[in-house]
Amino acid sequence: NAGVTQTPKFRILKIGQSMTLQCTQDMNHNYMYWYRQDPGMGLKLIYYSVGAGITDKGEVPNGYNVSRSTTEDFPLRLELAAPSQTSVYFCASTYPDINEQYFGPGTRLTVT
Amino acid sequence: GENVEQHPSTLSVQEGDSAVIKCTYSDSASNYFPWYKQELGKRPQLIIDIRSNVGEKKDQRIAVTLNKTAKHFSLHITETQPEDSAVYFCAASTGAAGNKLTFGGGTRVLVKP
């Protein structure tokens, strides 16, 4: 199993540009999550999904959108990128009846 | 919503000494408390977790204690080694709404040889 994979690893965006961060898991996990981690800080939940077609906001959803058309994929869309979105983005997944979240390797995003 | 506070933010210990990190949580419905270790430039990885029906759990040099009445839990690392140097995060979950985790701000641990 590859586990949770994320692309790209690094990206530099100009203010106002848009992009999609990709997340895929091959563990057949129902639950998936997107976090952002600012330098020297903890992880904050952006959006989460409990299954295909079902998504909900986390703590810091503004400026982001998600979709979940399949069990495997949970892309995060940034519209109109702003410097405040400079961060490392982690995707994670798990089963409903266990709690351990498995994290992807992260995407380091810089908006200038 | 849940709020998790973590102390200290940085911790420097001599190799072989013990390290203790403390977290407090606000939601009395929280029932799952994991600890994640994150090495520089890497993803967070679970090192130990505890559920609210247990007061203490140990795994080799790592132990976690939980005080539900006071709403705090702690990570104890004994006989620290240089490879224990990393950032450690505590988290809490009620198990509702997708098993969402609320993370503390992290503790940077430096083990000096």
For residues A28 and A72, what is the distance between their CA atoms, to the nearest angstrom?
Answer: 7
Residue B99 has pLDDT above 90, yes or no: no
Confidence band of A106 (pLDDT split at 50, 70, 90): very high
User: Considering CB atoms only, which of A40, A59, A100 is closest to B46?
Assistant: A100
Q: How confident is the model at residue A2 (pLDDT cuts 50, 70, 90)?
A: confident
Joined together, the tokens standing for residue A97 give 């009846």
When pLDDT is averaged across residues B61-89 and rounded to a whole number, the result is: 97
CB B68 within 8 A of CB B54: no
Q: How far is residue B28 CA from its own chain's centroid?
A: 18
- Average pLDDT of the residues of chain A: 95
User: Which of B95, B98, B105 lies at the smallest CB-CB distance from A48?
Assistant: B98
What share of chain B in percent tops pLDDT 70? Answer: 100
Mean pLDDT lowest for which of B14-23, B78-87, B98-107? B98-107
pLDDT, position B52? 86
Query: Is the per-residue pLDDT at A98 higher than 80?
Result: no
Q: Using a CB-CB distance cutoff of 8 angstroms, which residues of chain A are in contact with residue B105?
A: 41-42
Kindly report, residue by residue over A48-84, the tens digit of the pLDDT. Answer: 999 999 999 999 999 999 999 999 999 999 989 999 9
State residue B3's pLDDT score. 93
Note the pLDDT of residue B53: 85
Residue type, A100: E
pLDDT score recorded for residue B98: 81
> A90 to chain B: which residues are within 8 Å by CB?
43-44
Look at residue A52 in the predicted model and tell me its pLDDT.
94
**Local structure of A94: helix, strand or coil:** strand
